Structure 1
């Protein structure tokens, strides 16, 4: 299944839901709820709560993240919000402010 790309000039204010992977290169405000991967690209900005199977962050996320499998904040990634996931990777150089809950059943 091909990724859905939200381009760099696009702003979405609302809810994104579905079962296909999404790459955010633009701005999303509201809520993201997917049964697939959410990838916030280096120039991507998310001002929303994210519920997904897997989340990779190279851009900026302000909001809470709940992932069924894993969350990865890459070296250029910035997150302000709480993270709940059984596996969390925070790379050297990444920025994170919030709480982590890995006790997910």
Structure 2
């Protein structure tokens, strides 16, 4: 498999348990959610990112980041551009796109799972030169 493990970015932000946020949440580097989000959670696309949705966390909206670790509940689509880890207590209702997937026993997904390779890591197709003079 062509997946390369990279050094994970540091978790710089925390949404604590008991906290509820309504609206889109954009972040860089790492984010851990222990509370509840009503809106999309989207990582900065031009940097490596880590999103951790802990056991007691709830996200009602789209989730998009490089490395995503889910052990809580997500109601919405999930898109991981690198590695998606679905831990035992994870509950996802929505379609899931990933490059690499690790799913533990006990986790549930109510939606479509779709592998999506990172085209930028693949070599460009090269055609052989014609031998005509």
**Residue 16 of structure 1, aligned match among 5, 8, 25:** 25
Q: State the Cα deviation string for residues 1-48 of structure 1 (Å, max 9, x = none).
A: 443110111101111112121111000011111141110001000111
Which structure would you say has the larger RCO, counting Cα contacts within 8 Å and 6 or more residues apart? 1
Flag structure 1 segments of 5+ consecutive residues without an equivalent: none
Matched residue pairs, number? 105
TM-score for the superposition, normalised by structure 1? 0.93
Work out whether 1:40 is the aligned partner of 2:53: yes
Moved over 3 A (4+): none
**Aligned residue number for residue 64 of structure 2:** 51
Alpha carbon RMSD of aligned pairs, Å? 1.2
**Residue 112 of structure 2, aligned match among 87, 99, 102:** 99
What is the 5 A alignment of 1:22-33?
22-33=31-42
Higher strand share: 1
